[in-house]
A and B are shown apart, each in its own frame.
Chain A
Amino acid sequence: DAGITQSPRYKITETGRQVTLMCHQTWSHSYMFWYRQDLGHGLRLIYYSAAADITDKGEVPDGYVVSRSKTENFPLTLESATRSQTSVYFCASSDLMNLSGNEQFFGPGTRLTVL
């Protein structure tokens, strides 16, 4: 299916475990983003990528690792999950960055609970 997909949609894990959230887009967009959504904070940028093998930190990168070996995939890994990482995670993609006025296309989100 065309678009941007995330897996899993729901995940429950325990403190200290490693968790990887997957993101896949079929548009060949250059830019991909990971956000977390928390009540009272809106969406905050974790990491973004301008192209394959190019990644950069966003506002809240601590505790997260990303990679982008292929243009279409942008996995987000929590190396040792903590309860404060309980959140809804959104992946997004865009053809260009925002100063060009380009729209970001969002995936459906992954609801992660860390016990």
Chain B
Amino acid sequence: AQSVTQLDSQVPVFEEAPVELRCNYSSSVSVYLFWYVQYPNQGLQLLLKYLSGSTLVKGINGFEAEFNKSQTSFHLRKPSVHISDTAEYFCAVSDDTDKLIFGTGTRLQVFP
């Protein structure tokens, strides 16, 4: 069965600093990978997704993620964060029954 691990429950960072949010998955089949963002008191919205092709995926708001099959990782990065990036970030993988399996989330807190 597929699973997703987000090792960091919280990531504090200063404004304009780079950030990496880590995501590892386990799967015995080809997977589709997603990053969703949840701003305070809102639902989730899609940041980016990997289906196939180029392993570097660019998303909204300057975020990008790299699919690494050998390390079974899909880490999310941004070279310079803003206060407005403060949110909860969820990594997800589609399982072999075509449902999304979410990680436990990483809270990104950007300080001025």
Contact = CB atoms under 8 A, between A and B. Distances in A.
Nearest to B51: A101
Contacts of B98: 97-99
Given A42-B90, A109-B43, 5 more contacts: A42-B105, A103-B34, A103-B46, A104-B100, A108-B42
B63 to A, nearest CB: 15
Interface in A78-115: 90, 92, 97-99, 101, 103-109
B44 interface: yes
Interface residues of A, number: 23
A98 B99 contact: yes
Nearest to A9: B41
A83 to B, nearest CB: 21
A101 B32 contact: yes
A48 B6 CA distance: 25
Interface in B71-111: 90, 94, 98-100, 102-105
A99 B100 contact: no
Interface in A55-83: 58
A45 interface: yes
A43 B99 CA distance: 12
Contact of B103 (A42, A99, A108, A109): A42
B44 A40 contact: no
